[in-house]
Amino acid sequence: MSDKNGQGAGTQSIQRAAHVLRIIASRNGTGLRLVDIAAHSRLERPTAHRILKCLIAEGLVSQDAESRRYFLGRLVFELGLAASTSFNTRDICRPALLRLAEKTGDTVFLTIRSGFDTVCIDRAEGSFPIKTLTLDVGTRRPLGVGAGGLALLMSLPDPAVDEIVSANALRLSAYNGLTVPLLMRLLKRCRELGYALNDAHVTPGATSVGLPIRSRSGEPFLAISIGAISSRMTEERQQELVALIRAEITILEGAVSDTARP
């Protein structure tokens, strides 16, 4: 339904286009077919195709001529470069990630919430010879996938969790067969533990722990997680890592709230 000025329809079109871009971003390495984009966005195929044609015309999406798969376009990269100077959250958090990587020897990730998704915005590698590089900078995943995603999801009220999980239900199976019931069980366990623990999906043989970083209003918007091979992640060591993360977050929450842009 649109208002008298037609702004409702225009707003809906923008929301749908943004949703399509997020879906493509989540699989930009391999690209997505039209049928996949339509299914994940819950749009009719003709509607999804019209949106994609418009996004291609504006340079926000590209399509491979041979595979017919869709990828993010060059304009997204160009806009990201222009916007990067206005966001200093990564710079503020970088020293904390480096300290954690040095102390633990493991890989440390910084994740930010983006709607119903998370995006890895930084990573620091420790000295332990066996790396768990389970997440590249720029990777987008459904909220709740991985320790960073679980850390952000576990901190939200139940109605918000239900809405997010329902919206992402069709995308979960791509992550080592994750399902809604399994995700809800993982979430329940995380809340009982008091920290995010991922040892059952995404990457076999790897375990990660994480905690959220809250804004001044109390909203979880960032998460720090540490990943290692599962043999290193005993229950005792999980507690040690969580204590280290919590100490850094105590410092970061004030710094991010006071100086981060926007």
Split at pLDDT 50, 70, 90, the class of 79 is: confident
How many CB atoms lie under 10 A from the CB of residue 32?
21
**Whole-number percent of the chain with pLDDT over 70:** 89
Q: Which of 14, 30, 55 is nearest to 139 (CA)?
A: 30
pLDDT over 70 at 257, yes or no: no
| Phi, psi (rounded to 5 degrees) for 62 | -125, 160
Q: Which residues pair with 196 in a beta bridge?
A: 210
pLDDT per position as a tens digit, 153-163: 999 999 999 99
pLDDT per position as a tens digit, 29-77: 888 899 989 988 888 999 999 999 999 999 999 999 899 999 988 888 7
- Alpha-carbon distance of 49 to 153, in angstroms, equals 32
Which pLDDT score, from 0 to 100, does residue 41 have?
A: 86
Distances, alpha carbon 130 to alpha carbons 44, 49, 124, 133, in Å: 45, 44, 14, 9
pLDDT per position as a tens digit, 201-226: 667 788 999 999 998 778 899 999 99
- Alpha-carbon distance of 27 to 192, in angstroms, equals 32
pLDDT per position as a tens digit, 82-99: 766 656 788 889 999 999
- Alpha-carbon distance of 120 to 111, in angstroms, equals 4
Q: Which tokens is 260 given?
A: 């981060």
Q: Which tokens is 161 given?
A: 């969790």
Which pLDDT score, from 0 to 100, does residue 2 have?
A: 42
Q: Which residue has the tokens 């909203």?
A: 219
Which pLDDT score, from 0 to 100, does residue 244 have?
A: 97
Helix axes of 7-26 and 45-57: crossing angle, nearest 10 degrees: 80
Is 1 in a helix, a strand, or coil?
A: coil
pLDDT per position as a tens digit, 115-126: 899 999 999 998
pTM, 2 dp: 0.74
